Amino acid sequence: MNKKTDTNDFDSFADLMNGVKPLKQDKVHFKQTAKSKKILQEREQKLHADSYFSDTYQPYLPDEGPMRWSQDGIDKHEVKRLRRGDYVPELILDLHGMRQTEAKLEIAALIRACVKQHMNCCNIMHGHGTGILKQQLPMWLAQHPKVLAFHQAPKEWGGDAALIVLVDIEDGGF
């Protein structure tokens, strides 16, 4: 290249840029967006549900007859009262069409709602379906510290497609 042409190119560029001001650089620091309250609540609920409900825990449940269970120290008469329908469920949860993870969250939320609203009896409808929720639901309920007892629901509350649950709403028990 010729030295003369280089200086001409530089001079012509300088003439073109005459009067142009440099742009002011904005400094933008990207922060992590604050997590929404809903996302944090869902994460907390999932944590609570996972801490209560294990899929590997196997409580002693009956092989024959209707599904039933009670915590140690709970009078067997309470389970009999559940079977007869003496307790009227104040809250009803329908698990039809839910996956296991969704069902765990809903069950934990139902038990929290029972305690918060001082309702000692609820009904959980699992349906017939493939039987996965029907099989897992008693195992999950037996693990929760606030569940005192459960029994297969009477016909008017779902029969063998539902469980009626007795919940401890007091700190000292029932």
Instruction: Using the structure block, give the residue that is written with the tokens 């001409």.
Output: 8
Compute mean pLDDT per 10 residues along the chain, 174 residues long, and list them.
Answer: 59 84 78 76 72 78 88 90 91 92 90 93 92 91 93 92 93 47
Q: Where are the domains of the chain?
A: 68-167
**Considering the domain 68-167, what is its CATH architecture?**
2-Layer Sandwich (3.30)
Helix extents (H) in 17-91: 37-52, 76-84
Predicted pLDDT of residue 148: 94
Predicted pLDDT of residue 30: 74
Burial 2-31 (b: 16+ CB within 10 A, else e): eeeeeeeeeeeeeeeeeeeeeeeeeeeeee
Predicted pLDDT of residue 173: 43
Predicted pLDDT of residue 101: 86
Assigned token pair, 131: 């039987």
